[in-house]
Amino acid sequence: MKTYIVGNWKMNLTVGESSIYLQKLLKRIRPTKGLEIVVAPSVIALQPLGIQLGRAKSKIKLCVQNFYHRDYGAYTGEVSVTQLRGLVDYAIVGHSERRYVFGETNKDLKQKVAAAIRNNITPILCIGETENERNFGETADVLRDELFGALSEIDADDVKKVIVAYEPVWAISGTKGAKIAAPDDVAESINLIRNELKEIYGKEIAEEVPVLYGGSVNPNNAGAYLTIPGVNGLLIGGSSLISDHFVDIIELAKRIRS
């Protein structure tokens, strides 16, 4: 299975700054078998970065941070995943900021997952508990509800086309009081996710679904997370905006794979 290193730039960098940053990455990284490098810039930067990548698309793939679940229609201000076909390979769905800042529900997210799948774009489904939910022992219930709530519109064969990202809300950079998640705690949640997938879809499908970790990942802790059994990569926020840090994490992933 591939290892995925995904940089979520969130609402940062202008189009020009995004272009300069991408050029830095292109100069410093080399394609590595089994390692997928993905960046998710602001939506306004996707098209110019796609043109800039040109033949270098084997080095870096593009991801959209958000989209509307309808393929077309009178939805002023929205961008559909259909409009993104041929431009992006991945789409983030259900990031905690979409859930808690913009109020997206599992009903919204199951429609987005289905839309991405039918448009041949790989959804990166984010799930994770808040600090209060964790303190009250509700982690397993939250992960189960968010996982299957978002997968309920697709069949078992299509579940294999989804990437799951475990992002505990309490550990995400930029969240008030964010903490660094201990590898043992991450391992426990990854195991919960794998077991839930196995229970519903069977062992074969559960083993084929890539599961990433995200939450205050940086060059100092990335290696510890990448070596957790069942973790197939990282979804990175703040550190993906610093080219040296992002490249360091990519190099770590290469060494671990080898």
pTM of the shown model:
0.96
What stretches of the chain adopt beta strand conformation (E)? 3-8, 35-40, 61-64, 90-93, 122-127, 163-166, 211-214, 233-236
Distance of alpha carbon 50 from the chain centroid = 19
> pLDDT at position 85, please?
96
Q: What is the pLDDT of residues 4-51, one digit of tens each?
A: 999 999 999 999 999 999 999 999 998 889 999 999 999 999 999 999
Number of domain units in the chain = 1
Contact 153, 110 (CB under 8 A): yes
3-state secondary structure of 32: strand
pLDDT at residue 177 tops 60: no
Q: What is the pLDDT of residues 227-256, one digit of tens each?
A: 999 999 999 999 999 999 999 999 999 999
3-state secondary structure of 171: helix
% of the chain beyond a pLDDT of 90: 91
More confident residue, 58 or 186: 186
The residue written with tokens 């990433």 in the block is: 212
> pLDDT at position 69, please?
97
- Of the given ranges (73-82, 122-131, 168-177, 179-188), which has the lowest mean pLDDT? 168-177
Task: State the CATH number of the domain containing residue 109.
Answer: 3.20.20.70
Token pair in block for residue 102: 């913009």
Give the integer Cα–Cα distance in Å for 248 and 254: 10
Contact 133, 142 (CB under 8 A): yes
Q: What is the pLDDT of residues 76-91, one digit of tens each?
A: 999 999 999 999 999 9
> pLDDT at position 175, please?
57
Contact 213, 231 (CB under 8 A): yes
Q: Closest Cα partner for 92 from 45, 46, 128, 124?
A: 124
> pLDDT at position 58, please?
85
Mean pLDDT value across residues 183-199: 96
More confident residue, 154 or 172: 154
Question: Would you name the residues annotated as active-site residues?
Answer: 95, 167
CA dist 178 → 65, 126, 168, 217 (Å): 21, 17, 10, 12
Token pair in block for residue 180: 């660094």
DSSP 107-159: HHHHHHHHHHHHTT-EEEEEE---HHHHHTT-HHHHHHHHHHHHHTTS-HHHH
In degrees and rounded to multiples of 5, residue 104 shows phi and psi of -70, 140
Range of the domain at 17: 3-257
Token pair in block for residue 69: 């679940």
Side chain identity at residue 216, one-letter code: S
Sign (positive/negative) of CA torsion 218, 219, 220, 226? positive
